[in-house]
Amino acid sequence: MTDLATARLAMPLLAAGQAGKELMHNEALARLDMLVQPAVVAIGVNNPPAEPIAGQCWVVGPAPAGAWAGHAAALAGWTDGGWRFVGPREGFSAWCISTAKPIAYHNGLWHEGDVSADRLMIGGLRVVGARTAAIADPAGGTGVDEPARQAIIAILGALRQHGLIAS
């Protein structure tokens, strides 16, 4: 591989007058195939699979062995030419096939199943926003208020359980 590579995905660049340009071009295409709309078989795996299929990818675990040694947290993709590795970059995201959850790399770690947002929009309408301050349970009133009070307490409990309001 040449010293000339793209800054983000480390794809090889062709040099003027370079012999074997097809090797660099093919390497770049193999990386693109692995990184565009990525889906990984699993995350945190330390040992390469015995019989990978071309096109399959994994997120390497913290203590990689064998052909994956030295590539902790990297995306490992099997190609007809062998293993390709791309180190994670802040903001990388993929789909984990084995858990059917999104994964994303931020703050130096892969996070599985976390979805971060300021609000949830459905059909153009905001249905969930940032958590608001705690709401106190109802108190006071007369005995006639007891069924309503219990219903309100149950609603508040459900909202707290789902993290929609603070406890």
Fill in the amino acid letter for 73.
Answer: A
Residue 87: CB partners within 8 Å, gap ≥ 6? 10, 71, 73, 74
- Top pLDDT among 115 and 9 is at 115
What's the start-to-end Cα distance of the chain, in Å? 56
- How far is the C-alpha of 34 from the C-alpha of 104, rounded, in Å? 16
Please name which of 40, 46, 109, 106 lies closest in space to residue 75, comparing C-alpha atoms: 40
Q: Please give the pLDDT value at position 88.
A: 93
Q: Please give the pLDDT value at position 1.
A: 42
Q: Rounded mean pLDDT of the chain?
A: 86
In the block, which residue shows the tokens 């995201």?
93
Residue-wise pLDDT for 94-144, tens only, equals 999 999 999 999 999 999 999 888 888 888 877 777 777 777 777 777 666
Is residue 2 scored above 60 in pLDDT?
A: no
Look up the pTM and report it: 0.68
Phi, then psi, of 46 in degrees rounded to 5: -95, -25
Residue-wise pLDDT for 16-72, tens only, equals 777 777 777 777 777 787 888 899 999 999 999 999 999 999 999 999 999 999 999
